[in-house]
Amino acid sequence: MAVVELTPGPNMGYLASLSAACGRKAGLTAVAGVTLGLAAYMIAAAFGLTGVLLAYPLLYQALRWAGVIYLLWLAFEAWSAEREAAPRGPQGAACYGEWFRHGLFANLLNVKAAAFYVVLLPSFISPARPALPQALTLGAMHLSISVVVHSAIVLLAARAGTGLGAAGDHPKARRVRRAFAVAIAVVALWLAWDTRG
């Protein structure tokens, strides 16, 4: 499961871009949202709900395109932001809530996360034992691994982005937001291409 989590994907791209542009607190807050989204998929898979995606390809495509559109919307929002304040300045509760929600929805609309729990996780479950406890245990292991991997990505990206959003430097802050927007748009296009199956 660790190898799967180290494979580049939309969560990784989103968290790295956000952390480089807005800092460690933004990234770690988004990690909490991403993790809650993964937990929702894990619980749904444990009870057999995500298998519906395999049974109804139209639903899979709807989820896939909803994820792409959501990421493109985040990119547009970042590109057109008129905020003068630097991304790394003191942040209020509203910012934390926004980062958490973006992480949560970016993951809930991430068809790759759903596919992991639908396709890969069941291959680790032994038919000789009850499936539900195994699915929940394996899911909890995956969540733990993802928190470690995503947090490491956030810390590395935030360190690499230190100073990019210097307070009061409007042109620099705008360039940082726009670079973040382009990175998120690239992640959205990659998701559209990679999940077209």
Chain centroid, CA 133 distance in Å: 26
Share of the chain above pLDDT 70, in %: 82
pLDDT at position 87: 43
Number of structural domains (the chain) is 1
Amino acid at 51: G
More confident call, 96 vs 123:
96
Closest by Cα among 180, 191, 184, 197 to 65:
191
Task: Write the Ramachandran bin of 48: left for phi over 0, alpha for psi from -120 to 50, otherwise beta.
Answer: left
| Integer Cα distance of 195 and 193 in angstroms | 6
**Burial of residue 80, with CB atoms counted within 10 A of its CB: 0-12 exposed, 13-18 middle, 19 or more buried:** exposed
Amino acid at 57: P
* CA atoms in the 13 A half-sphere facing the CB of 163: 1
What is the extent of the structural domain holding 28?
2-194
Closest by Cα among 133, 107, 80, 83 to 187:
107
- In tens, the pLDDT along 153-168 reads 999 989 887 755 544 4
| Integer Cα distance of 99 and 94 in angstroms | 9
Is the pLDDT at 195 greater than 90? The verdict is no
pTM metric for this prediction: 0.75
